[in-house]
Amino acid sequence: MASGMMLNPGVVRIMRTFANSMMALMVLLTAHTTMAGDSHGHLAGNSAQSVQLLNASARATRPGMSSSAAYMTIRNGTHEAVQIRSLSSPVARKTELHTTEMNNGMMKMRRVDNLTIKPGDTLELKPGGYHVMLMGLDKPIARNSEVPVTITFSNGDQKSVVAHATDEIKGQHMAH
């Protein structure tokens, strides 16, 4: 009975070879799965762990205004501090990051270069504070029009957002 259960050596060798091939195949498959998982994880990480531009709005212009401002939330989802290197918009000849400060009782705007956003931090661009200054407008910014803004960061990230133009932004914005 026991001898009936025994496999002849040739069959055992074939089975071993088969088992080895299966092992090799599984190793390959596992390696492939791991690589796929890594690249997928990296992609998912890209959206969650990048710099994000959110909730963008722009100030629709009134007659005679040659500059305007855009506001948004900039979220640094990376694990590194990033600096705002440069800004651009197709509607303006010059686009800069500005801040608004009180200076001898006067509200003044000034350009801010290389502002740092710490990892995990959020920077609010809002009336009376930091804003994207759009200077030298080609044409008026109409209400409900879309104003693209692109920001380049020190980590090489270049992010674009479309700011919705509204005339309902509270607070006056000064001309330069």
State CA 4 to chain mean position distance: 69
Q: Considering the complex, state which of residue 109 and residue 117 has its C-beta at the smaller distance from Cu ion.
A: 109
Stretch 43-102 residues interacting with Cu ion (CB under 5 A): 98
By the 10 Å C-beta count (0-12 exposed, 13-18 middle, 19+ buried), 27 is classed as exposed
Q: Does 109 engage in binding with Cu ion (CB under 5 A)? A: yes
Q: Which residues sit opposite 149 in a β-bridge?
A: 161
Q: Considering the complex, state which of residue 68 and residue 76 has its C-beta at the smaller distance from Cu ion.
A: 68
Residue nearest to Cu ion (CB): 98
Q: Considering the complex, state which of residue 82 and residue 133 has its C-beta at the smaller distance from Cu ion.
A: 133
Query: CA angle at residue 45 from 40 to 50, to 5 degrees?
Result: 140
**Single-letter residue type at 161:** V
Q: Does 169 engage in binding with Cu ion (CB under 5 A)? A: no
Q: Does 133 engage in binding with Cu ion (CB under 5 A)? A: yes
User: Shortest Cβ distance from residue 116 to Cu ion (Å)?
Assistant: 20
